[in-house]
Copies of this chain bind each other. A is one copy, B any other.
Amino acid sequence: MSTQPKKSKWSSESLFKDLRMDSKAAAVEFIGTTYFLVLGLGGIQAATGEAFASGSVIEHVLYISTCMGLSLLVSAWLFYRVTGGLFNPNISLALVLVGVIGPVRFVLFCIAQLLGGIAAAALVFALTPGPLASNTFLQTGINSAQGVFIEMFITSALVLSVLMLAAEKHTATPFAPVGIGLTLFACHLWAVFYTGAGMNTARSFGPAVISGFGYPQHWVYWVGPFLGSLLGSAFYTILKVINYRELNP
């Protein structure tokens, strides 16, 4: 009896066996990210156009938070049963770290999401007057360390919402996009005023590309959310290891 040689999990054959599916899913993620960010960045564009003439900073920030939160809520809901509706390379990273998606899909998703961010910023720029208003940068009084920490903290909350509401299976799982969108909303209410609330490197990268990287410290929106992915995934892994379902009797 001849035994077939066992393939390594990381052999190219094994890695790329779902390449067709992964590519289609990535194409849909590109479109979904574009929808999400045209609505979100478009709303920020409107808020800035409006605030130019009138409006307090507080209503500007509330408007942006509502706009980004609801845009993700509905876009993720529409695409949830197609690709998961991530629209965010930092969420993709968390999902590959905890084993929900494979490495090839992770890479394709990141590319699709970054391209979606660029496409959305380009569309908003083409369709509305004035310079693009949706770049993220640190407000006066916030240093880089604070910026990185804030971005890490809010991204970890978003990652946790995806892992606890969507990746974990339970009765409310079909409504995960509602909880995930409202998490983005709540995080924006804190962080828009301080860092612009990136929470998603694709969301920060798109406007930066279209604006020629005209704002300093763009690296904060790569490092902070990256650390947030690690933190959120690590905390989730601990919850799984201690078998969290037994804590609530």
Contacts and interface: CB of A to CB of B under 8 A. Distances in A.
Interface in A32-90: 35, 38-39, 42-43, 45-47, 49-51, 53-63, 66-67, 70-71, 73-74, 77-79, 81-84
Interface in A12-29: 18, 21, 24-25, 28
Interface residues of A, number: 87
A98 interface: no
Interface of A: 18, 21, 24-25, 28, 31, 35, 38-39, 42-43, 45-47, 49-51, 53-63, 66-67, 70-71, 73-74, 77-79, 81-84, 123, 126-130, 141-142, 146, 149-150, 153-154, 157, 160-161, 164-165, 168, 170-172, 174-175, 178-179, 182-183, 185-187, 189-194, 235, 239, 242, 244-249
Query: What secondary structure prevails in chain A residues at the interface with B?
Result: helix
A144 to B, nearest CB: 12
A51 B54 CA distance: 12
Nearest to A191: B42
B248 A82 contact: yes
A179 B81 CA distance: 14
Contact of A150 (B61, B127, B164, B182): B127
Given A127-B146, A165-B78, A153 B38 contact: yes
Contacts of A73: 182, 186
